[in-house]
């Protein structure tokens, strides 16, 4: 039961973190002009994400303490929690994540929507995303390669948040009844293309580095023999599916919408296709995060 709770809380934290970083960066990068930045859905969405990260981190701290202490009743004792927070990098990272999320929540509640607020939220989201390196396998590597693995894991988490958080923002944008005009949506999709390509490139590069440390070239052929390896294969399949959907959006569906706008044609069909594709990509991303949440609780092949 505790293991399931830890996995569920990891998934919630990942989901909140990607929105906290990716959505405001999407607003800054993809929209031009002050009016476009004042989207009414943005601040409530980021507030919810901050709350999810803060509560999820603190709840995960208690659950991880329960695993180490042997029971939930022992975990809630001040001495157990104090040791977890002050004596382990895992506990420190969770508390830091919660504090940053609370800071983000205060900023979102007190500042007006706009570039300043989105910039502060991006900074908070970046710290939250980076903190996962200390609650996963990234900080476990010792020796000369330890720093390289840690840095790669941080960049990997940030790049994933850029992509998935922007997807969440796009999904909300396309599904809302009071959506922006078609040209604004097209410009947002077109504007995000460069950032999305950068995120994918960083994911591939840092994923290879992480796999080198967690799996190793000699064990690649035996991936299917372990639960970790099977889940890693599932993660790669989901990543490939997301990549195919993203490529279809960028190189086929978005240009079709642009052509319809340029020709003064009806854009409803083009928008409907884009809506279905973006929602599908977002759902695959949510499933990928669930796989990552489970992977983080398993020992990699390199540790066996």
Q: In angstroms, what CA-CA distances link 292 with 15, 165, 209, 212?
A: 11, 16, 16, 17
pLDDT category at 3 given cuts 50, 70, 90 is: confident
Average pLDDT over residues 16-39: 76
Average pLDDT over residues 166-183: 78
How much is the pLDDT for 181? 66
Q: Per-residue pLDDT for 36 more than 80?
A: no
Write the DSSP assignment of 129-186 as a string of letters: HHHGGGSSSTTT--STTHHHHHHHHHHHHHHHHHHHHHHHHHHHHHH-TTPPPHHHHH
pLDDT-above-90 percentage for the chain = 54
Highest mean pLDDT (candidates 40-44, 97-101, 108-112, 219-223): 97-101
Write the DSSP assignment of 89-112 as a string of letters: HHHHHHHHHHHHHHHHHHHHHHSP
Domain 2-303, classified CATH 1.10.3470, yes or no = no
In sequence order, the 6+-apart residues with CB closer than 8 A to the CB of 126 are 21, 158
How much is the pLDDT for 37? 46
H/E element, 7: helix 2-30
pLDDT category at 176 given cuts 50, 70, 90 is: confident
Model confidence over 228-265: pLDDT tens digits? 999 999 999 999 999 999 999 888 988 888 888 888 88
pLDDT category at 304 given cuts 50, 70, 90 is: low
pTM of the model: 0.91
| C-alpha closest to that of 301 among 137, 143, 153 | 137
Q: Per-residue pLDDT for 8 more than 80?
A: yes
DSSP classification of residue 271: H
How much is the pLDDT for 303? 67
Domains in the chain: boundaries: 2-303
Model confidence over 143-160: pLDDT tens digits? 777 889 999 999 999 999
Average pLDDT over residues 64-82: 88
Handedness of CA 59, 65, 66, 72 (dihedral sign): negative
Q: Are 22 and 164 within 8 A, CB to CB? A: yes
Handedness of CA 190, 193, 196, 198 (dihedral sign): negative
Model confidence over 41-62: pLDDT tens digits? 889 999 999 999 999 999 999 9
- Please give the Cα distance from 204 to 199 (Å, whole number): 9
Q: Per-residue pLDDT for 190 more than 80?
A: no
Q: Are 263 and 256 within 8 A, CB to CB? A: no
H/E element, 123: helix 115-131
């Amino acid at each position: 039961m505790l293991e399931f709770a830890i996995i569920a809380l990891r998934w919630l934290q990942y989901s909140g973190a990607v929105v906290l970083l990716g959505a405001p960066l999407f607003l800054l990068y993809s929209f031009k002009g002050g009016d476009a930045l004042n989207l009414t859905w943005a601040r409530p969405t980021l507030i919810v994400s901050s709350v999810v990260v803060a509560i999820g981190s603190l709840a995960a701290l208690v659950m991880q303490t329960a695993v180490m202490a042997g029971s939930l009743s022992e975990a809630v004792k001040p001495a157990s929690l104090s040791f977890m927070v002050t004596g382990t990098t895992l506990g420190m990272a969770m508390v830091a994540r919660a504090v940053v999320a609370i800071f983000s929540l205060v900023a979102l509640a007190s500042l007006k929507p706009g570039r300043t607020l989105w910039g502060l939220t991006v900074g908070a989201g970046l710290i939250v995303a980076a903190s996962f390196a200390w609650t996963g396998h990234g900080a476990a590597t010792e020796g000369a390669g330890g720093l390289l693995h840690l840095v790669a894991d941080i960049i990997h988490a940030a790049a994933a948040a850029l992509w998935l958080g922007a997807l969440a923002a796009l999904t909300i944008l396309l599904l809302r009844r009071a959506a922006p005009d078609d040209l604004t949506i097209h410009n947002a999709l077109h504007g995000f293309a460069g950032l999305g390509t950068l995120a994918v490139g960083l994911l591939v590069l840092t994923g290879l580095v992480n796999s080198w440390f967690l799996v190793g070239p000699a064990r690649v052929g035996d991936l299917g023999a372990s639960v970790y390896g099977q889940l890693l294969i599932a993660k790669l399949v989901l990543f490939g599916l997301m990549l195919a959907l993203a490529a279809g959006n960028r190189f086929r569906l978005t240009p079709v919408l642009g052509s319809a706008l340029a020709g003064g044609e009806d854009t409803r069909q083009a928008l409907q296709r884009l809506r279905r594709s973006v929602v599908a990509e977002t759902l695959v991303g949510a499933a990928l995060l669930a796989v990552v949440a489970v992977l983080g609780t398993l020992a990699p092949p390199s540790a066996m």
